Amino acid sequence: MTAKLLVKRAGSTVVAGLLIVAMAVAANAGADIEAAPDITGPAKRPNIVLLLADDLGYSDLGAYGSEIQTPNLDRLAASGLRFSNFHVAASCAPTRAMLMTGLNSHSVGVANIPEAIPEDQAHAPAYQGVMHTHVPTIAEQLQAAGYRTVMTGKWHLGMDPERRPSARGFDRTFMLADTGADNWRHRSYLPIYETANWFEDGEPITLPDDFYSSEHLVDKAIEYIGNDGEEPFFAYVAFQAVHIPVQAPANFRDKYLQTYVGGWHALRAARSEGLVDAGILPDRLQGRPMPTTSDWQSLTPDQQAFEAKGMAVYAGMVDAMDHHIGRLINHVDLMGELDNTVFIFLSDNGAEGSLATRNIGGEARAPTGPFRAWMYTEGFNTDIETLGERDSYHDIGPAWASAAVGPLAWYKFFAGEGGLRVPLIISGASNGQNIAATTGGVSPVLGWATDIAPTILELAGIETLDSLPGKTLVPLISGETTELRAVKEGIGYELGGNKAFFRGSYKLVYNRYGSDNRWQLFNLAADPAEKTDLSAAEPQRFNAMLKAYNAWAEAQGVLPVADDYHQGRTVMLKGILNRPGLLATVALLLLLPVLILIALVVWLFRRRKVN
Cα–chain-centroid distance for residue 310?
Answer: 21
Among the listed residues 92, 243, 324, 331, the single catalytic one is 92
What DSSP designation does 137 have? P
Which element (helix H / strand E) includes 100? helix 92-101
Among the listed residues 87, 106, 132, 156, the single catalytic one is 156
Whether 91 contacts 420, CB under 8 Å = no
Cα angle vertex 573, ends 571, 576, to 5°?
105
Which element (helix H / strand E) includes 522? strand 519-523
Give 27-84 as a DSSP string.
HHTT-S--SPPPBEEESSPPEEEEEEESS--TT-SGGGT-SS--HHHHHHHHHSEEEE
Whether 173 contacts 234, CB under 8 Å = no
Give 543-560 as a DSSP string.
HHHHHHHHHHHHHHT---
d(CA 27, CA 16) in angstroms, rounded, equals 17
Known catalytic residue at 156: yes
Give 171-236 as a DSSP string.
SEEEEE-SS---SSSS--SSTT-SS--EEETTEE----TT--HHHHHHHHHHHHH-S--SS-EEEE
Nearest in space to 343 (alpha carbons), one of 553, 34, 91, 53? 53
Cα–chain-centroid distance for residue 26?
Answer: 26
Known catalytic residue at 265: no
Rg (CA), the chain: 24
End-to-end CA distance of the chain: 98
- State the catalytic residues: 92, 156
